[in-house]
Amino acid sequence: MAPTIVFDALGTLLSFDGPANQLFKLFPSLGPDGFSRYFPFVLRDYMASSYSGDYRPLSHFFRHCLPRFLITQGLPVDDEAKENIESFMRFFARGMEPVEGAQEALELLISKGWLVSIVTNGGRSTVENALKNGSILQHFDSGKAILSCEEIGAAKTDPRVYQAIKIHLKKTYQLEENEPFWFVAGHAWDCQAARNCGFLTAFCEAYEEPIWNDAWSPPQVLATEDAIGVGLLGAVQAAIAVEESKTIK
């Protein structure tokens, strides 16, 4: 059987450009990079909640971290700000679109016989709606190949998340024990956690700065400006090349 490839969704397969632009529109004094400063607030508290044994959905932290973030940026949390926060949350649930090259990458994988999947920090309905609106949900077996951290009860980078998606896919699709599992993310921390759980990994230039953290072991594929192939499509092409080179040998 062909390899299995698991994608991160938020910030990898799905772009944050829409929510980032909306946050800037609602709170212009944050500047166009406001979302890139706000998102680490969200991730920190989301992960900390999970590791402390009090897992809560990512959307909970997107909503409740925003007032504190605004205060740290010198903005008041008055009635208008509260209305804007709710407006941002409504938009976030529907404002993400597939990143450039997503459709081509998925079609290429499927043409090669790969099983494509997602494990996401986001809620299932939010991610599935974004995939459906972007005309790529069908590539994930209409949702059967998708697993949300809300269903697992733990946040990435908890090893249980990466183990859970492997177990889910092996059970659902009767995968053999020795079949290769790939993991693709635009977050270095996500790739490293997946690698620690036995995945082959591909880090692509997506949401984060396209620089690998040398404190960690390098991924099998580094799809950035300094590598052959950039972005999600480049990562997928490189992963396919790695697997096809094995068959040649």
pLDDT for the residue numbered 207? 64
Q: Are residues 33 and 128 in the same domain?
A: no
User: Is residue 205 helix, strand or coil?
Assistant: coil
Choose the final residue of a domain: 58, 92, 126: 92
Number of Cβ within 10 Å of residue 51's Cβ equals 13
pLDDT for the residue numbered 65? 97
Q: Are residues 108 and 87 in the same domain?
A: no
Going residue by residue through the chain (249 aa), what tens digit of pLDDT does each one get? 689 999 999 999 999 999 999 999 999 999 999 999 999 999 999 999 999 999 999 999 999 999 999 999 999 999 999 999 999 999 987 889 999 999 999 999 999 999 999 999 999 999 999 999 999 999 999 789 999 999 999 999 999 999 999 999 999 999 988 889 999 999 989 999 999 999 999 988 766 665 666 777 778 877 655 444 568 999 999 999 999 988 765
CA distance 192 to 242: 19
Q: Are residues 125 and 176 in the same domain?
A: yes
Q: How many CA atoms lie within 13 A of 243 on its CB side?
A: 21
Q: Are residues 230 and 170 in the same domain?
A: yes
Number of Cβ within 10 Å of residue 117's Cβ equals 25
Q: Are residues 107 and 223 in the same domain?
A: yes
Q: Are residues 50 and 8 in the same domain?
A: no
pLDDT for the residue numbered 210? 59
Residue 223: CATH number of its domain: 3.40.50.1000
Q: Are residues 111 and 213 in the same domain?
A: yes
Q: What total number of domains does the chain contain?
A: 2
Q: Are residues 166 and 210 in the same domain?
A: yes
CA distance 217 to 15: 26
User: Is residue 33 helix, strand or coil?
Assistant: coil
| Percent helix / strand / coil, the chain, rounded to 5 | 55, 10, 35
> Contact 150/115 with Cβ under 8 angstroms?
no
Choose the final residue of a domain: 63, 92, 121: 92
pLDDT for the residue numbered 27? 98
pLDDT for the residue numbered 227? 46
Q: Are residues 141 and 153 in the same domain?
A: yes
pLDDT for the residue numbered 94? 86
Choose the final residue of a domain: 48, 64, 92: 92
Q: Are residues 112 and 188 in the same domain?
A: yes
Integer-rounded Cα radius of gyration of the chain: 18
pLDDT for the residue numbered 118? 98
DSSP per-residue letters across 217-249:
PPPSEEESTTSSS-HHHHHHHHHHHHHHHHHH-
Backbone φ and ψ for 200, nearest 5 degrees, come out as -80, 140
The domain of 66 spans 17-92
Q: Are residues 175 and 187 in the same domain?
A: yes
Q: Are residues 11 and 57 in the same domain?
A: no
For residues 5, 8, 11, 12, the Cα torsion angle rounded to the nearest 10 degrees is 0
